[in-house]
Amino acid sequence: MNKKNFTDRLKQLFSRQDKPKNKVQGDSFKARANNISRRFKETKHPYRFLFNTTYDTIWNVLLFTILSLSLIGILLFSIGLGYFAALVNDDVNYTNEEIETKLRDVTESTNVSFASGENLGTLKSDLIRESIKYEDIPENVIDALIVTEDENFYEHNGVVPKAFIRASLQEVVSSGEGTGGSTLTQQLVKNQLLTNDPTFQRKASELLLAFKVEDLLSKEEILTSYLNAVSFGRNANGQNIAGIKSAAKGVFGKEAKDLNLAEASFLAGMPQNPYAYTPFNVDGSLKSEDELSLGKKRQEYVLSRLLTEGNITEEEYDEAMNYDLYDNMTSSVDVPNQKYPFLTEEIERRAVGVLKYILAEEDGVSREDLNVTPLLNQEYTQKANDALRNNGYQIETTIDKNIYDTMQDVKNNQFSYYGDRSSLDAIDASYSDEGEMQKHEVGAMLKNNKTGAILGFIGGRDFKSSENNHATQTSRMSGSTMKPLAVYGPGIDKGLIAPDTVILDKQFSIYNPQSGTSYSPQNYDRKDFGLLSVKNALANSYNLSTLRLWAEVRKHNPREYLDNLGLNMPDSLFDQDGIGIPSLPLGVNNMTVEEGVNAFSSFGNNGVMTDSYMIEKITDPTGKVIYEHEQKEKDVWNDSTAYLMTDILKEVFKTGSAYHIKDYYHSISSTYDWATKTGTSEQFVDSWMIAYNPEVTLGMWMGYDSNIPQVYGTENDDHITIYNWQSLSSALQNADSEKMGAGQMFSQPNSVYKESFCGMLMQKGNCGEDKEISGLVANNTQFSNKSGLDDNDVLNRNGKDFDTGLSASDLRGVVRGSGDNYYRIGSTPKKVVKSIKDKLKESKSNSNSSDNESGYDSQNNSSQ
């Protein structure tokens, strides 16, 4: 039938074109029947006539049916298309940029590295995931994944229609096990862009997004995104893992590029059912033999597919089949919070503190608004914490692994400790408290003076018994470490004193008319030492002479120095005029080891304090630097003050409160130029030693988490903080002499020179009954003519504000100068001088045995 005949018949089908000559004539049925019979007989070809009539009738019916079904199909297709569009309207409303971001930037664990380059590991997270680049993925993994999950991966455009329809129907009707109709592209879309809901809506969205992803990403990019995103069950620690890189490390303890065929095929088979095939339980132990067989059978299937498809040879197949998977699995995964718990916690805390300001700034919230608005601060702290767990940052720290590990090793194997004590032994314990046993604790920190970088620290003895970071977070009474910071440093910086200035060490009482009580401080051994040099008083950490000097220094705004050092003294330690309370120099304020190390590092850095820090840089997964530390410096002291204070504090090792390790000091002093200050708080609750050289500052605290006296009585004091500091410094010097400042010596600045002056009067020449001495002074040291020992300037420097009965007669006598050089002020008979010398030597010997530092008498607030 040609085209014209088809058209004519189509027209005839839908139009009425009756031809009279063909009409059957007759008024009745019988007449019409006779007429038909007659016409059939008259036809020359009756059978042909019958065939044509039947053919025309069938064709017309068939044509009508086809057209009707086509119209119905078009209608149903339109309805289905509309329904399909309605289903996917919300789920595929992603821009191309959003799709690429979601597929490539999978949630990833933050990784941390030491300053020395070694990898510390990933921070704790609900899911451990590390990203990998395509070129680092083994070919065996890719081949195994494709032959088992998507054999047509390189041919299709995201969807295999037949398999898609079959899998969709199976999901919707929940027909038991599916037959794997989803391509790798669809699985990626489902995992990263959609949910796992078995609905037509999700399947419809999956279909369109799969096509879209194939247009946006190359096949290599799709494979990389899939292998970075997909779950691989658990690692040897029992942690949830995702991504082939974390799977290789977590299951076999190696990098992905180092996987062999057997290992690669085992991991490649896991994504189909990761928690069934994973070899590890939630506690990190291996599963039972029956459960392990599931993963092994899956691996064998993967290998058989690789062999069938020609990806491997028979020999490679046999070798992989005979490989003992479970003997070659790792037993554990090193994670920071397990091996380095104190370090991990501290890095997380500091990183959150950095990130919250970055995230707030991105939202237009200023640092000032964040600091003064608690709800905002809480909101962005949580955002920063979430980002730290999931955004795949790389954090570079200042911590030197060798130094940090050395510090932990010495703490564990060389330190001495007092025994465990009950919290009920605390000086502030309440009868209602429930007692708990506490270990004797330690906190220490090593800092570079110039950069502020924290090279290492000791957070505590055992993280499991106490999670308090005793180096950065535990704030305790500072004891006598405050003396150089609050009294002697400001006194020298203001020009009030020099190291050889003479001051008085004698008991006194301050009456408080409001309370009707008196404040009567004492030295540690409850003796006084008369006239002595500033260097002698500080080196031996005498309280009485320090407090007398404080009576004058406190009028010259020493709080400014303390604020610049970052010590943030509470207002309760100052009166309404900003004058410090009498006991402030004895360390009644709290500070952390880090704060103490910061403060003393200013002496080691020519008077400049550089803020300590632990995070060098933070980068995002693309390598973009989102944070980099900026060095912050404060000029706290004149360089002359820093040098003169160092000159004094070196004496602490030789004849002062750290003389117990003087032999050690003398053995290393030609290589390491250390200066130090020790300290002990009230009733020996806290003990300190902070030392510095031109390169680093090393500080240590010891005590209990509660305010428990470490010993009762000086006879029980083993000076373990001092000896532990020696052990730590010695080990660190052996570990890295250069970083510890080997060969670097303090050099005398031009602002310091030697001068002859009257030791008590602080004037040049005409000393009268005073003694002319020679010693180092600063170019701003104040010398002025005085009327004599009863001059107000002299009396005020010796504590007249505290001791109203002070007179010139108190300032006459034998002086113990620097280096135990004795001389007299006033007319003291020589035999009396000799007697006093002998008495002082005997007293010094006894006081040295008790460290000369107080802190035992709570009533008198004595402090070392």
Maximum alpha-carbon separation in the chain = 175
Q: Which amino acid appears at position 281 of this protein? A: N
- Which superfamily does 96-328 belong to? Biosynthetic peptidoglycan transglycosylase-like (1.10.3810.10)
For residue 728, CA distances in Å to 428, 735, 771 come to 32, 10, 43
Segment (H or E) for 590 = strand 590-591
Q: Indicate the SS3 state at residue 837.
A: helix
Distance CA 321, CA 324 (A): 8
Element (H, E) at 396: strand 394-397
DSSP code for 769: T
Quote the pLDDT of residue 706. 93
Distances (CA, A) of 41 to 25, 48, 51, 56: 16, 13, 15, 21
Q: Where are the alpha helices (DSSP H) in 510-624?
A: 534-539, 543-553, 559-564, 593-604
Residues with Cβ < 8 Å from 838, sequence gap 6 or more? Answer: none
| Structure tokens that stand for 688 in this block | 């300190």
Helix or strand or coil: residue 80? helix
Phi first, then psi: what are they for 635, rounded to 5°? -80, 105
Q: How many of the other CB atoms lie within 10 Å of CB of 448?
A: 21
Q: What is the mean pLDDT of each run of 10 residues along the chain (864 residues)?
A: 58 51 63 67 62 71 80 70 52 66 70 88 76 90 91 83 61 46 79 64 71 84 88 88 90 93 93 91 88 92 93 93 92 75 92 94 92 90 87 93 97 95 89 85 98 97 91 95 98 97 96 85 89 96 97 96 94 93 94 98 98 96 92 96 98 94 97 97 94 98 95 80 98 97 97 97 94 96 95 96 94 90 78 55 51 40 47
Q: Which of 536, 746, 498 is nearest to 657 (CA)?
A: 536
Q: Helix 261-268 to helix 244-252 angle, to the nearest 10 degrees? A: 120
Sign of the Cα torsion 59, 62, 68, 71 reads: negative
Residue type, 288: S
CB 550 within 8 A of CB 584: yes
Do 565 and 636 form a contact (C-beta atoms < 8 A)?
Answer: yes
Q: Which of 65, 52, 794, 855 is nearest to 482 (CA)?
A: 855
Instruction: Give me the pLDDT at residue 77, please.
Output: 64
What is the helix (H) or strand (E) element at residue 15, kind and residue range?
none
| Residue showing tokens 């602080």 | 762
Q: Which residues pair with 822 in a beta bridge?
A: 816
Beta bridge partners of 215: none
pLDDT of residue 7: 59
Distance CA 742, CA 318 (A): 60
pLDDT of residue 130: 83
Distance from C-alpha of 182 to C-alpha of 161, rounded to nearest angstrom = 10
Cα dist from 265 to 185, 244, 696, whole Å:
20, 12, 52
How far apart are the C-alpha atoms of 351 and 425, rounded to whole Å? Answer: 37
Domain coordinates in residue numbering, the chain: 3-74, 96-328, 448-497+537-619+636-735
CATH number for the domain whose boundaries are 448-497+537-619+636-735? 3.40.710.10
